[in-house]
């Protein structure tokens, strides 16, 4: 499974991922203490959705079945409404969005004075784009998995987003090793691992091992929009280690409303991962 940010910008997985990311950062912002947002696989920070760009390739652009489904809605849930407001702040109040923000941009929008953003991007040309798009971020041109030794940040609290492209056959193992090592150094950190759900059994095994290795509270949420029979990814998940207080209670109603927007086949789950 290869998952490049630019090719899937604004799809259902981005909507799901950024909704949960926003919930975690909002929770961290409730305390009058600065946080640090660390993105291990940051990407460019902004993506065009118009034709001729990676995100608009194919017979049907993925964003149309992602942020496009939500664009003209007025969500009742406050978290879902905040997410849509943030994306509209980036794309503009337009009938059809022409661009979509990356995780560092969304984090920067929520950042208060004193909060910091550290973003890793190993491709030099993409890192250069990110420096331009999110000027307040500290952009590191390196493999995000090398960041474990640099943790904890000076704030000693924050969110670490682990959002790899799943190009490696051992990506789950690499992500688990990183989070285990990083969490051992960074007790005050919240860790969020996004993953495509092509093989539920492999995902279940990886997360149970992560729960065993870290010995922390690990929540797992999954979003399945239903297969169209075209071979495209239709399900993904996000596991959150050391979730903020009442994180599950906050995201559950937002996810329920989100599933309703995506139609009768869409399903969301949220639960605790038990160690083997």
Q: With CA atoms as reference, report the closest residue to 274 among 187, 207, 190.
A: 207
Using one digit for the tens of pLDDT, what is the confidence trace for 209-226? Answer: 999 999 999 999 999 999
User: What is residue 275's predicted lDDT score, i.e. its pLDDT?
Assistant: 86
| CB contact at 8 A, 164 and 40 | yes
Give the residue numbers annotated as catalytic, written as ranges: 163
Q: Mention every residue, 6+ apart, whose C-beta is less than 8 A from residue 58.
A: none
Q: Using CB atoms within 10 A of its CB, is residue 3 exposed (0-12), middle (13-18) or buried (19+)?
A: buried
Predicted model pTM: 0.93
d(CA 104, CA 89): 14
**pLDDT, tens only, 178-196:** 999 999 999 999 999 999 9
How confident is the model at residue 221, as a pLDDT?
Answer: 98
CATH of the domain at 200: 3.40.50.150
pLDDT tens for each residue of 30-66: 999 999 999 999 999 999 986 544 554 544 578 988 9
Q: How many domains does the chain have?
A: 1
For residue 36, the cross-strand partners are 116, 158
Q: Report the sign of the C-alpha dihedral through residues 134, 140, 142, 143, in that order.
A: negative
144-179 burial: b if 16+ Cβ within 10 Å, else e: bbebbeebbbebebbbbbbbbbbeeeebbebbbebb
- Please tell me the predicted confidence (pLDDT) of residue 47: 93
State the residue range of the domain holding 86. 5-272
What are the tens digits of pLDDT across the range 226-266? Answer: 976 666 789 999 999 999 999 999 999 999 999 999 999 99
């Amino acid at each position: 499974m290869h998952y490049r940010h630019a090719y899937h910008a604004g799809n259902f997985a981005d909507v799901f991922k950024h909704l949960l990311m926003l919930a975690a950062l909002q929770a961290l912002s409730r305390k009058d203490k600065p946080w640090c947002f660390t993105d291990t696989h940051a990407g460019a920070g902004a993506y065009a959705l118009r034709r001729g760009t990676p995100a608009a390739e194919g017979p049907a652009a993925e964003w149309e079945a992602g942020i496009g489904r939500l664009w003209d809605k007025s969500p009742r849930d406050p978290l879902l409404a905040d997410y849509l407001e943030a994306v509209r702040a980036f794309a503009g109040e337009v009938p059809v969005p022409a661009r979509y923000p990356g995780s560092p941009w969304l984090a920067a929008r929520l950042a208060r004075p004193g909060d910091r953003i550290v973003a890793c991007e190993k491709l030099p040309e993409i890192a250069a784009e990110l420096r331009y798009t999110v000027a307040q971020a500290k952009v590191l041109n390196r493999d995000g998995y090398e960041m474990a030794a640099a943790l904890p940040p000076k704030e000693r609290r924050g969110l670490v987003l682990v959002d790899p492209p799943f190009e490696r056959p051992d990506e789950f193992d690499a992500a688990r090793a990183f989070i285990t090592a990083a969490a051992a150094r960074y007790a005050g950190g919240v860790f969020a691992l996004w993953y495509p759900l092509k093989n539920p059994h492999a995902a279940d095994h990886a997360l149970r091992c992560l729960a065993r290795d870290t010995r922390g509270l690990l929540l797992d949420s999954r979003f399945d929009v239903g297969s169209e029979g075209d071979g495209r990814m239709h399900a993904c998940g996000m596991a959150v280690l050391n979730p903020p207080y009442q994180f599950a209670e906050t995201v559950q109603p937002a996810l329920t409303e989100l599933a309703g927007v995506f139609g009768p086949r869409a399903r969301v789950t949220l639960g605790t991962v038990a160690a083997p």
